[in-house]
Amino acid sequence: MEALAMERKAEQNRELRERLMQLKKERNAIILAHYYQRDEIQEVADFRGDSFLLAQKAAQTDADVIVFCGVHFMGESAKILAPNKTVIIPDERAGCPMADMVNVDGLRKLKAQHPNAKVVTYINSSAEIKAETDICCTSANAVRVVNSVDSDEIIWVPDKNLGHYVQQNTDKKMIIWEGYCNTHDMLTVKDVEEMKAKYPNAEFVVHPECRPEVVALGDFVGSTTAIIKYCKESEGKEFIVGTEDGTGFQLRKDSPDKTFHFATKYLVCPNMKVNNLKKLVKCLETMQPQIYVPQQVADKARLSLERMLQVK
């Protein structure tokens, strides 16, 4: 029975992939997929990457349609950087709880209290917040961005864990907002210690969105892209991974001879996983849901994203 169901699912996926190729041609569309997406989506993407790489691809593409397989704020970033393109996402319910933890009124109040501070906003944020921001960053370039800003005082939103990590690597005074990523914040020291006891030869690679005490245990700390690169180039053969489990697709693809253990089974972002192959095909058929960003918000937000893209 189970074998039959698996076979039927495989057949269905084959048909969906064929339909997808046809629609992509008809619409002159490009598919961008975040590393945290389901394997079935990463397999068909034109580009897989973290939010930084995908923002760059959106800014550079000559496709007419960008299908962004990620969460809502990523689609917004693509629309802001490529205003003349149509940007669609497979499921508009793919939100980001961390992005929702910061609001415009709160940020404006903080700016009024610290008039000399510059605002650095993690790309995991809404277009409205980016419009109130001096410069955006990703986990890949956060330290470089903060150090590039011509102010000794930084208002940092919204991720306190990444903010704490940046604070260790800069002399600037950081005023840190109290947001966090639900998925990364779940990982505890106990989880990591249990895994290290179970796999004593494995290196622990960890994302700076995890809690500071967890990050402190890392053999390597870095963004999703940096973790993937490190594991590929490392002499090590076994890794305990402290980031979202969708990363496993690229890790296994790059290093089929290596073993990856996720530090807990809870490293799954439910928002990233609402997208699937069926919804991806449907959004290209209907050209819905589309991402809209009001022009005055987009124009302000674009400045903060473009400044980020200029930081070397």
Extract the annotated binding site for iminosuccinate: 34, 51, 122-124, 139, 207-209, 224
DSSP 137: E
Task: Tell me the angle at which helices 295-310 and 72-81 cross, rounded to the nearest 10 degrees.
Answer: 90
Joined together, the tokens standing for residue 270 give 């439910």
Q: Where are the alpha helices (DSSP H) in 137-263?
A: 142-148, 160-167, 182-185, 189-198, 212-215, 224-233, 248-254
Annotated binding site: which residue ranges?
34, 51, 96, 122-124, 139, 181, 207-209, 224, 269
Contact 157, 177 (CB under 8 A): yes
CA distances from 129 to 35, 133, 251, 297 (A): 24, 7, 33, 9
DSSP 274: G
Letter for the amino acid at 62? Answer: D
**What is the helix, strand, coil percentage profile of the chain, to 5?**
50, 15, 35
Question: Cα(264)–Cα(244) distance, rounded to whole angstroms?
Answer: 10
| Cα atoms in the 13 Å half-sphere on the side-chain side of 279 | 21
- DSSP string over 24-50: HHHHTEEEEEETTS-HHHHTT-SEEE-
Annotated binding site for [4Fe-4S] cluster: which residue ranges?
96, 181, 269
- What long-range pairs does 229-237 form, CB within 8 A, spacing at least 24? 230/205, 231/205, 231/255, 231/258, 231/260, 234/203, 236/202, 236/203, 237/201
